[in-house]
Amino acid sequence: MTETTANHTVRQTVRPLGRPGLAYDEVAVGDRLPELSIPLTRTLIVATAIASRDYQDVHHDPELAVERGSRDIFMNILTSNGLVERFVTRWAGPAAVVAAIRIRLGAPNYPGDTMVLTGEVTAKDDAEGRVEVSVRGENALGAHVTGTVVVRLPKGENA
């Protein structure tokens, strides 16, 4: 999969190499996450459905998916959760502990499309060391997923 970093004028926090991840103090409200572009292959949609033990036919059988009113098979919600987690922890680093993932689904992720994930730090909770990130995954039809992820980050050396 390709991972692209867009040229934002807004400050982006990018994790320094050789470190276990971002420290709480290194993150500011308004920081943008590096964009993540995910090609939605048929294999990805089926493999992730099975990895999440979701055997609903609409996630692997095109004929039955159409019969049930869909255009094709589509990604299951457990995978949307998993990809949103991957998107945020790859930015935050391995020390980050995921405290919440809250998502709403919109346009389905159909095979052949691409989902581009973007995110921005929207809040910080100093007492808990928690950082809230708003995320959005867009495909050609619109927003597939919108929501927030909360991660707990370690205090930095200066703390």
Partner 1 sequence: MSAAYEDRLRAFVGREIHPLRPGQDPVNVPMIRHWVEAMEDDNPIHLDEEAARATGRDGVVAPASMAQAWVMRGYAATTAAEGGGGPADELTDLLAEGGYTSVVATDSEFEFHRELVPGDHVAVREVVESISPEKATALGTGRFITSLRTYHDQDGEVVAVQRWRLLRFRPKAKPQEPEERSEADAAERPEERASRPQPAINRDNAFWFEAAREHRLLIQRCAACRTLRHPPGPCCPECGSFEWDTVRASGDAHVYSFVVNHHPRHPAFDYPLIVAVVELAEGTRLITNLVGVSPEEVEIDMPVVLDWVDADPELSLPVFRPVAQEGH
Interface residues toward partner 1, by CB under 8 A: 1, 20-21, 44, 47-48, 50-56, 58, 66-69, 71, 76-79, 81-86, 89-90, 94-95, 97-108, 141-143, 146, 154
The residues pairing with 133 across neighbouring beta strands, listed in sequence order, are 121, 149
Q: How far is the CB of 105 from partner 1 (least distance, A)?
A: 5
Nearer Cβ to partner 1 (7/123): 123
Q: How far is the CB of 53 from partner 1 (least distance, A)?
A: 4
Q: How far is the CB of 104 from partner 1 (least distance, A)?
A: 5
What 3-state class would DSSP assign to 140? coil
Nearer Cβ to partner 1 (8/99): 99
Nearer Cβ to partner 1 (90/124): 90
Q: How far is the CB of 46 from partner 1 (least distance, A)?
A: 9
Structure-block tokens of residue 54: 């979701």
- Single-letter residue type at 47: A
What 3-state class would DSSP assign to 86? helix
How many residues are listed for the chain in this entry?
Answer: 159
Nearer Cβ to partner 1 (7/43): 43
- Would you say 87 and 105 are in contact if contact means Cβ atoms under 8 Å apart? no
What 3-state class would DSSP assign to 89? helix
Rounded Cα–Cα distance for residues 138 and 133 (Å): 16
